[in-house]
Amino acid sequence: MKTPKQTKKNSIQELAKALRLSPATISRVLNNHPHVHTTTRNRVMAFVEKTGYTRNIMASGLRTNRTNAVGLIVPRFSMFMHTEVITTIQSGLHAHGYNLIICQSNDSLDMEKDLARTLYASRVDAVIAACTLSTADFSHFDILTENDIPVLFYDRVPVQPYNACIVKGDDFRGGFIAASHLIQLGCKRISYLSGSLTCNIYIDRYAGFEKAMMQHKMAIRKDWVFYQELTADNARKAMYRLFAKAPFPDAIMAANDVTAIAVLEYAKEVGIKIPEDLRIVGYSNDPRSAIITPSITTIEQFPANIGQVIVTEVLKRLKGDVGSEVLYPEPIIVPVELIRRMST
Amino acid sequence: MKTPKQTKKNSIQELAKALRLSPATISRVLNNHPHVHTTTRNRVMAFVEKTGYTRNIMASGLRTNRTNAVGLIVPRFSMFMHTEVITTIQSGLHAHGYNLIICQSNDSLDMEKDLARTLYASRVDAVIAACTLSTADFSHFDILTENDIPVLFYDRVPVQPYNACIVKGDDFRGGFIAASHLIQLGCKRISYLSGSLTCNIYIDRYAGFEKAMMQHKMAIRKDWVFYQELTADNARKAMYRLFAKAPFPDAIMAANDVTAIAVLEYAKEVGIKIPEDLRIVGYSNDPRSAIITPSITTIEQFPANIGQVIVTEVLKRLKGDVGSEVLYPEPIIVPVELIRRMST
DNA sequence: TTGAAAGCGCTAACAT
DNA sequence: ATGTTAGCGCTTTCAA
């Protein structure tokens, strides 16, 4: 802004001309190639420093077929869990010189398809994705894998084998320990508010719940299990039905904290005492679950750990440490933990 | 994955060869140039569809000097306000064919400098930034403006004139209406927990507070105003000092909700009744402020509106509707609103 | 309406 | 240790 409009080309050619060197030498310096004389290197570095030259990534990317960018697709990054994961991934990748291109599918399959394609057009070096609730067919990611762009899924991941790295929280165990916790507290009439069973996370959490119930020889009442979109509204409707006529449940297990919070608020409104009359367990340790009164027992998924694992895995693949020989790798499971609070 | 490894080059040349056309014609079709025969266009489109050809953005970017990518720098995107703004920006830009490269400075000035440079290296078409608390000198953004890459600041913005578009919430008014609200409720002894006055948002909010106090001829007690990093810990320390000896304040105005929440929790712990003994106002309508008991009165900044304004402004600049003739544009101020809740 | 050719800025053989 | 040269895939004059 101070200096008058420079017609500086800001290219390696300009540097070469000014320093009476060839572009190749400049390039070598910039890329830390070994066979460059120290004097030359210093001369170049000094000049680069002085002029503020910054390499054009598009040009080098075109040549080398690498962009130093990683694409990320999430349903919504305002979802607490994703916010945390993304934070970790962005920082981790930046430390290794990668940019992160972040996209949201808004839980729309069409958008997700569009985004996979867009990211391919950008020739990102890798793609990380948490899919929509309705993604059952994952072939729109084929364009990436076919062109040797590694794909990593996390959270909502393919149920069928797919040629991609998979990272997820231990949803089965999460469901299991949440249910076991309630059972150990003496709850006899447990209702479960699940998401749709098209999505792996709800399948697994439910399976964990089922296992715990079976282990304790407790019957699962069909009309006490709900499979629905996990909105506050749906949670309230479920509560209304559950408490329409006795016997009433003595515990609600919710497949996420949004639902648990809605359940709690409904209970407070209609005068059901928590935890005396009804115990509540949520899932994912949303910050609000800690702050509400009474605070809600929930499952911590350690999103920062998930993010860290993803960073490690994606870097491996970017560095070529993982060949394409491993076609259908085993999912990586990140441990979860029960956080006990006042609602139980 | 189904088909055997194709040696398809996936380039315009290949399409040209297959269709017995020149690369130029393919390019014209892809870019919707007018002078192409409809038959040819259809033939090309059909083939593109069939083969799944996707243009290499790096190559076209190198040629045209555009990347269809916008860079974004925020302190942390886990901060509620930014999460919302980013959500809006990403969706808005995607609808116009732009990718968003999202970076976090972690409130570190060095990181911010690094990121500005990285984004220039990527030759993004524009940069949107919410600065760190300590950014006072903005010259690290010069490399962008000098190279005609438009820069837009929001939230934490330059205090001095800078050649960039500036969008922000009406912090002055926010501070003013929050304080006025307390005064109208009859509060006589208002304490203000501010962030450091190096940052425009805290300067403005404080100024609003000051104006309201002056308007009502109320003195501001120096030892009841704190300028500190807005952490829960600092908030608790401030509370401890405020309630160490009488007279005690009858209202706390906090420059953000994290602080307001910490104040409320401290008050509950030590048995100060809210709102009878102490009224509390926060800032920014963090979701937790609505859910805590009692819920906290706060200032809504409408982050989605801020995001929308940013999208509009950045698109204007990307389309070249805003020439560089407007060097130091007036900031765009997005209205705020008081949300009254139980804490007052 | 279409094609030929040059070139965006960089890197990597190959040559010296 | 350095230079020469070709080309990554695309767009855009200019010419036909």
How far, in Å, are A76, A153, A310, A318 from residue A72 at the CA level? Answer: 11, 10, 11, 15
Of the candidates B120, B203, B115, the one whose C-alpha atom is nearest the C-alpha of residue B159 is B203
> Do B54 and A121 count as a contact with CB atoms less than 8 A apart?
yes
Cis peptide before B247, with omega less than 30 degrees from 0?
A: yes
- Res B89 pLDDT > 80: yes
User: What residue has token string 């005064």?
Assistant: B183
Q: How far is B213 from chain A (nearest CA, A)?
A: 32
> Quick one: pLDDT at residue B35?
86
Collapsing DSSP to helix, strand or coil, B166 comes out as strand
Residue–nucleotide distance: A159 CA to C12 C1' (Å): 43
CA distance B41 to B30: 9
CB of A13 within 7 Å of some strand C atom: yes
Q: Which tokens belong to A342?
A: 């006042």
Residue–nucleotide distance: B35 CA to C1 C1' (Å): 6
CB of A65 within 7 Å of some strand C atom: no
- Residue A213 bridge partners (DSSP): none
Q: Could you tell me which chain B residue has the CA closest to the CA of A116?
A: B54
> Do B62 and A57 count as a contact with CB atoms less than 8 A apart?
no
Of the candidates A339, A336, A328, A329, the one whose C-alpha atom is nearest the C-alpha of residue A305 is A336
> Do B76 and A87 count as a contact with CB atoms less than 8 A apart?
yes
CA distance A112 to B41: 27
Q: Could you tell me which chain A residue has the CA closest to the CA of B287?
A: A288
> Quick one: pLDDT at residue A9?
66
Whole-number average pLDDT of chain B: 92
Q: Looking at beta carbons, which residues of chain B come within 8 Å of A262?
A: none
> Do A84 and B78 count as a contact with CB atoms less than 8 A apart?
yes
Q: Could you tell me which chain B residue has the CA closest to the CA of A164?
A: B1
Collapsing DSSP to helix, strand or coil, B113 comes out as helix
> Do A1 and B146 count as a contact with CB atoms less than 8 A apart?
yes
Taking one residue from A and the other from B, the number of pairs with CB-CB distance under 8 angstroms is 128
Interval B144-197: pLDDT, tens: 998 889 999 999 999 888 889 999 999 999 999 999 999 999 999 999 999 999
> Do A293 and B293 count as a contact with CB atoms less than 8 A apart?
yes
CA angle B7-B8-B9, nearest 5°? Answer: 110
CA distance A71 to A89: 11
Q: Could you tell me which chain A residue has the CA closest to the CA of B64?
A: A58
- Res B4 pLDDT > 60: no
The 3-state secondary structure of chain A, one letter per residue: CCCCCCCCCCCHHHHHHHHCCCHHHHHHHHCCCCCCCHHHHHHHHHHHHHHCCCCCHHHHHHHHCCCCEEEEEECCCCCHHHHHHHHHHHHHHHCCCCEEEEEECCCCHHHHHHHHHHHHHCCCCEEEECCCCCCCCCHHHHHHHHCCCCEEEECCCCCCCCCCEEEEECHHHHHHHHHHHHHHCCCCCEEEEECCCCCHHHHHHHHHHHHHHHHCCCCCCHHHEEECCCCHHHHHHHHHHHCCCCCCCCEEEECCHHHHHHHHHHHHHHCCCCCCCCEEECCCCCHHHHHCCCCCEEEECCHHHHHHHHHHHHHHHHCCCCCCCCCCCCCEEECCEEECCCCC
CB of A63 within 7 Å of some strand C atom: yes
Task: Determine the residue type at A179.
Answer: A
> Quick one: pLDDT at residue B140?
95
Q: Could you tell me which chain A residue has the CA closest to the CA of B163?
A: A1
Bridge pairing between strands B337-339 and B298-300 = antiparallel
CA distance A124 to B91: 19
Of the candidates B23, B24, B11, the one whose C-alpha atom is nearest the C-alpha of residue B54 is B11
Measured N-to-C along each axis, helices B38-51 and B23-30 cross at an angle, to the nearest 10 degrees, of 90
- Res B2 pLDDT > 50: no
CB of A214 within 7 Å of some strand C atom: no
Q: Give the end-to-end CA distance of chain B in Å, rounded to a whole number.
A: 61
- Residue B154 bridge partners (DSSP): B167
Cis peptide before A275, with omega less than 30 degrees from 0?
A: yes
Q: Looking at beta carbons, which residues of chain B come within 8 Å of A56?
A: 62, 121, 123
Interval B91-132: pLDDT, tens: 999 999 999 999 999 999 999 999 999 999 889 999 999 999
Task: Write the residue in A10, A94, A261 that is nearest to B291 by C-beta.
Answer: A261
DSSP state of B133: T
Q: Looking at beta carbons, which residues of chain B come within 8 Å of A288?
A: 287-288, 291
Phi, psi at residue B343, to the nearest 5°? -75, -5
**Residues close to nucleic acid strand D (C-beta < 7 A):** A 20-25, 28, 34-37, 39-41, 59, 62-63; B 9-13, 23-24, 26-28, 30-31, 55-56, 59-60, 62-64
Task: Write the residue in B67, B104, B292 that is nearest to A91 by C-beta.
Answer: B104
Of the candidates B286, B305, B287, B232, the one whose C-alpha atom is nearest the C-alpha of residue B264 is B232
Q: Could you tell me which chain A residue has the CA closest to the CA of B59?
A: A62
> Do A99 and B101 count as a contact with CB atoms less than 8 A apart?
yes
- Res B44 pLDDT > 80: yes
> Do B99 and A103 count as a contact with CB atoms less than 8 A apart?
yes
Q: Looking at beta carbons, which residues of chain A come within 8 Å of B163?
A: 1
Q: Judge contact between B300 and B339, C-beta under 8 A.
A: yes
CB of A197 within 7 Å of some strand C atom: no
CA distance B290 to A2: 48
CB of B35 within 7 Å of some strand C atom: yes
Q: Mind listing the domains of chain A with CATH numbers?
A: 12-55 (1.10.260.40), 67-169+303-334 (3.40.50.2300), 171-300 (3.40.50.2300)
* b/e code A206-226 from CB counts within 10 Å (16+ = b): bebbbbbbeeeebeeeeebbb
Strand D nucleotides with an atom less than 7 Å from a protein beta carbon: 1-13
Instruction: Show pLDDT as tens, one digit a residue, over chain A (344 residues).
Output: 222 223 346 899 889 989 999 999 999 999 998 888 999 999 999 999 988 899 999 999 999 999 999 999 999 988 999 999 999 999 999 999 999 999 999 999 999 999 999 999 899 999 999 999 989 999 999 999 988 899 999 999 998 889 899 999 999 999 999 999 999 999 999 999 999 999 999 999 999 999 999 999 999 999 999 999 999 999 999 999 999 998 999 999 999 999 999 999 999 999 999 999 999 999 999 999 999 999 999 999 999 999 999 999 999 999 877 765 566 788 999 999 999 999 99
Collapsing DSSP to helix, strand or coil, B141 comes out as helix
Helices (H), chain B: 12-19, 23-30, 38-51, 57-64, 80-95, 109-121, 142-146, 171-184, 200-215, 232-242, 257-270, 287-291, 303-318
How far, in Å, are A183, A234, B280, B288, B303 from residue B340 at the CA level? Answer: 41, 27, 10, 14, 18
In sequence order, what are the residues at sequence separation of 6 or more whose Cβ sits closer than 8 angstroms to the Cβ of residue A102?
Answer: A72, A74, A77, A86, A90, B86, B90, B100, B101, B102
Lowest-confidence segment of A153-157, B13-17, B280-284, B318-322 by average pLDDT: B318-322
Collapsing DSSP to helix, strand or coil, B12 comes out as helix
Q: Judge contact between A169 and A301, C-beta under 8 A.
A: yes
Q: Which tokens belong to A27?
A: 């390039």
Residue–nucleotide distance: B10 CA to C4 C1' (Å): 22
pTM above 0.95, yes or no: no
Nucleotide nearest to A22 (CA to C1'): D3
Cβ–Cβ contacts within 10 Å for residue B259, how many? 29
Longest dimension (CA), chain B: 90
> Quick one: pLDDT at residue B160?
84
Cβ–Cβ contacts within 10 Å for residue B240, how many? 11
Instruction: Considering only CA atoms, name the residue closest to the C1' of nucleotide D11.
Output: B63
Of the candidates A205, A216, A215, the one whose C-alpha atom is nearest the C-alpha of residue A225 is A205
Q: Looking at beta carbons, which residues of chain A come within 8 Å of B50?
A: none
